[in-house]
Chain A
Amino acid sequence: MTAWRIVRFFTPSLVWLVLYPFTFRIYAAYRQPELPFRWERYFTDYTWVTGNPYLQMMLLLVPVAYYLTMLQVDAVRRRHGALPHRGRLMAGRPGSRLDAFAEFVFSRRTYEFVLQPALADLQHEYFEALSAGRTRKAQWVRLRGYVRFWSHVVAQVPVSVLRAAVKLWFSIP
């Protein structure tokens, strides 16, 4: 269980570690389109291109440091009896981070008509199961809701790309 807790705590940081180089790549493509793409030189060429390698390294380390600190704070609070020894004392709404992600990444129309309703259904079913005292079902509903959300994303991306392409095509004079 401890291993699972560590994985759960570090997953956002690991996701960030994977996505982080792509921010360099995008910025590098913008600043120096002629720069050849080399996977092995993410933290050299691309940090150099962005201009401030120390700042970029800080950005990389901030989420790692944050989760390490949170683990430590959690451990101290457990030692003093402020938290139960297993499980979380209070959980947020399921899908709230996905909601923020969808609002940031997708267009307003896609967010409001496709992705937000999927998350609203997830939360509605989740709280319904919790209020009925069915914790296991709530966990299952949450997992199923995440799968449904990403299915919507996968199904929506071609639609959005096609719509953008058509819009672009007809905008050319």
Chain B
Amino acid sequence: MVPRLSPKEAEILRLLIANGDMYGLELVAASPLLKAGTIYVTLGRMADKGFVESRTEKVDGAPGLPRRLFKVTGAGVRMMKAQAAAAMAFGEVLA
């Protein structure tokens, strides 16, 4: 089954490709499309599809739980390129 890419997932992939590793809240701050109340559900779904991967980052001496840093995978980059190509082709057909 071909994985689908929702507008939110495409936005996350675009941001991660442009900026490299990012935290969930940084993604929310960078885009009005993403909401802080559901960002990790979307990221978790994308991790299931293999578009993003993550690691915990514990800063020495910092209180609190370790934060999770997200980065795009090769599959995510390919998916983004495929979607861009499809959008371009679709635009040409409509034009």
Contacts and interface: CB of A to CB of B under 8 A. Distances in A.
A113 B37 CA distance: 14
Interface stretch (B13-21, B42-50, B85-93): B42-50
B63 interface: yes
B77 to A, nearest CB: 21
Please report whether the interface of chain A is mostly helix, strand, loop or mixed according to DSSP. Answer: helix
Given A113-B47, A121-B24, A159-B45, A127 B40 contact: no
Contacts, number: 64
The range of chain B's interface size is 20 to 34
Contacts of B78: none
B68 A113 contact: yes
Contacts of B30: none
Interface stretch (A7-15, A31-39, A150-158): A150-158
Interface of A: 93, 99, 109-110, 113-121, 123-127, 147-148, 151-152, 155-156, 159
7 contacts: A117-B43, A118-B24, A120-B68, A124-B64, A156-B41, A159-B44, A159-B45
